[in-house]
């Protein structure tokens, strides 16, 4: 397996000086390479990712596709290259996670992706809109966790401090799972937002910790539909993002009973759904129809 970073020579140009200056220097880049996921001897998908935590990524992807629900659904997982486990599919395509499901559990043909998933797209390869929606395993409406708004505003810095590869490259997204007491349970980095989330969900699956009741999932970018669905499938009641959610993400969050927080920056945030889980001055925030509503501003 390759490293998480790669070094290249670049031309550093500074135009603020008069005259401008240019010099060669070494720069550290976040690595991006293909990873094949194969289930029971057949290719499931090929995804572009940052190497590292590949077993977590594969396990989380299987949760996100609704293929597995618990660690007991997976009999074995191993990481190998295209020569040591290339007897069926993905030959010569780099690293492969080879998964064997428990007896009696199979992958439907519709679950197999039609082509490579890029680091920017977690739903690429789906053949129809109907395939985007995966049946949930947990009812997060039953999760009555309460999160202090003041604590939420401090969480992005905690996540940033834990991003070791971002600190050296500036080119990775991060996803972090915080426990009910506000402790950072796990953080994963990747060039793709959806990969970072799959990695933390896969970590939880392999720890036999699903559903992640009472937990908060924090992502470093925006909150898309696919990230909301991944949170719901992992049984996470709160998803917070430092940037904006999409309309479909908010719709799915409302339907599933997920608390969706966006524009979590500085001392402010927008709470789009299930605001009753967010404590403002010790009191739960209410939906727009109630006494207190979330600020609809943003930047």
Domains parsed from the chain with CATH numbers: 33-127 (3.10.20.10), 140-284 (3.40.140.10)
Q: Is 0.85 topped by the overall pTM?
A: no
Pairing between β-strand 42-49 and β-strand 33-39 as defined by DSSP bridges: antiparallel
Which residue is it, tokens 């409406």?
141
Tens of pLDDT, residue by residue over 256-283, are 999 999 999 999 999 999 999 999 988 8
More reliable by pLDDT, 127 or 232: 232
Tens of pLDDT, residue by residue over 129-160, are 445 567 788 899 999 999 999 999 999 999 99
Residue 271 · residue 235 · CB < 8 Å:
no
Separation in Å, CA 89 to CA 40, 42, 98, 117: 11, 7, 11, 16
At residue 166, φ and ψ (nearest 5 deg) are -60, -40
In angstroms, the CA 76 to CA 205 distance is 13
Q: Which of 85, 121, 124, 215 is catalytic?
A: 121
Percent of the chain whose pLDDT exceeds 70? 79
Residue 121 is among the residues annotated as catalytic for this protein: yes
In angstroms, the CA 64 to CA 50 distance is 19
**Rounded average pLDDT over 192-200:** 95
Task: Label residue 3 by pLDDT band (50, 70, 90).
Answer: confident
Q: Which of 87, 85, 27 is nearest to 54 (CA)?
A: 85
Q: Which of 266, 273, 262, 260 is nearest to 297 (CA)?
A: 262
Distance of CA 261 to the CA centre of its chain: 15
Check residue 267 and give its pLDDT. 95
Separation in Å, CA 18 to CA 11, 15, 24: 18, 7, 19
Q: Which helix (H) or strand (E) holds 198?
A: helix 193-206
Average pLDDT, the chain: 84
Task: Label residue 169 by pLDDT band (50, 70, 90).
Answer: low
């Amino acid at each position: 397996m390759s490293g998480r970073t790669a070094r290249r020579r670049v031309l550093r140009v500074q135009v603020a000086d008069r005259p401008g200056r240019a010099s060669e220097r070494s720069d550290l880049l976040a690595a991006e390479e293909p990873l094949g996921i194969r289930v029971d001897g057949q290719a499931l998908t090929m995804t572009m990712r940052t190497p590292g935590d590949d077993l977590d990524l594969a396990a989380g992807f299987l949760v996100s596709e609704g293929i597995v629900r618990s660690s007991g659904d997976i009999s074995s997982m191993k990481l190998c290259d295209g020569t040591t486990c290339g007897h069926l599919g993905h030959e010569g395509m780099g690293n492969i996670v080879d998964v064997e499901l428990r007896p009696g559990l199979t992958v439907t043909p519709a679950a197999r992706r039609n082509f490579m998933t890029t680091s920017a797209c977690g739903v690429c390869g789906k053949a129809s809109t109907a395939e985007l929606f995966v049946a949930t395993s947990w009812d997060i409406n039953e999760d009555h966790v309460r999160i202090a708004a003041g604590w939420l505003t401090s969480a992005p810095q905690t996540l940033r401090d834990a991003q070791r590869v971002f600190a050296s490259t500036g080119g990775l997204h991060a996803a972090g799972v915080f426990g009910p007491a506000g402790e950072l349970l796990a953080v994963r980095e990747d060039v793709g937002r959806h990969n970072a989330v799959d990695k933390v969900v896969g970590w939880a699956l392999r720890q036999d910790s699903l559903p992640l009741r009472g937990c908060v999932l924090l992502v470093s970018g925006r909150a898309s539909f696919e990230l909301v669905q991944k949170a719901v499938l992992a049984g996470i009641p709160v998803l917070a993002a430092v940037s904006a959610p999409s309309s479909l993400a908010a719709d799915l969050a409302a339907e599933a009973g997920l608390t969706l927080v966006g524009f979590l920056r500085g001392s402010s945030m927008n709470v789009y759904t299930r605001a009753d889980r967010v404590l403002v001055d010790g009191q739960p925030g209410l939906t727009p129809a109630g006494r207190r509503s979330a600020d609809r501003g943003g930047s």
